[in-house]
């Protein structure tokens, strides 16, 4: 995850407000999600977006060629706006912040559930239910397997980690035992 920059937050907020005024949140959300996914899988696109040395006219032409007819006019105009303000390099962070704003408006939060082996659906539901009651939000999960975990799960929500692994429980037991001794 990149270091968060306050400008990325401001640009994401501005985009969100424009979309809200024009009732375009869902469409632009889909566009920004697609852009974020493309940035995640294409090193060439990521290099292009983060290269501040490219002339603006070349950036605009490339964006037009890549995304015209693939994303909404609002999203494309926003990309051109970022180019004109020399802020296109913030696009990955803006996509991330915009997604968080949209999900927050729907009372949804993203969580990464990490376990030592693949979880069954009922186990995932139990973790989501526990986390949802803790955070008072609906959970949109991503599942990861980390064989290095002894057992239990770790859950990452933003910058917070909820550690329900056997290792964490043993460490807590050891701490309490040493504290009492």
Report all structural domains of the chain as residue ranges with CATH numbers, in order of start.
6-104 (1.10.520.20), 108-180 (no CATH)
pLDDT in tens, 26-64: 999 999 999 999 999 999 999 999 898 899 999 999 999
Residue 3: per-residue pLDDT: 53
**pTM of the predicted model, to two decimals?**
0.78
Residue 166 and residue 173 in contact, taking contact as beta carbons nearer than 8 Å: no
Residue 111 and residue 142 in contact, taking contact as beta carbons nearer than 8 Å: yes
User: What is the C-alpha to C-alpha distance for residues 174 and 172, in angstroms, rounded to an integer?
Assistant: 5
User: What is the C-alpha to C-alpha distance for residues 80 and 82, in angstroms, rounded to an integer?
Assistant: 5
User: From the centroid of its chain, how far is CA 58?
Assistant: 28
Structure-model confidence comparison of residues 104 and 158, the more confident one: 104
pLDDT band at 159 (very low <50, low <70, confident <90, very high): confident
């Amino acid at each position: 995850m990149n270091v968060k920059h306050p400008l990325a937050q401001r640009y994401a907020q501005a985009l969100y407000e424009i979309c809200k005024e024009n009732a375009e949140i869902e469409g632009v959300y889909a566009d920004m999600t697609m852009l974020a996914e493309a940035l995640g899988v294409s090193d060439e696109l990521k290099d292009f977006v983060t290269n501040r040395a490219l002339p603006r006219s070349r950036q605009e032409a490339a964006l037009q060629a890549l995304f015209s007819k693939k994303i909404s006019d609002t999203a494309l105009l926003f990309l051109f706006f970022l180019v004109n303000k020399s802020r296109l390099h913030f696009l990955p962070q803006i996509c991330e912040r915009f997604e968080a704003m949209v999900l927050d408006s729907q009372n949804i939060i993203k969580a990464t559930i990490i376990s030592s082996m693949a979880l069954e659906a009922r186990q995932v539901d139990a973790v989501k239910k526990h986390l949802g009651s803790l955070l008072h939000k609906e959970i949109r999960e991503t599942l990861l397997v980390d064989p290095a975990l002894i057992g239990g799960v770790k859950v990452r929500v933003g910058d917070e980690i909820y550690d329900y692994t056997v290792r964490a429980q043993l460490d807590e037991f050891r701490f309490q035992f040493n504290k009492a001794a």
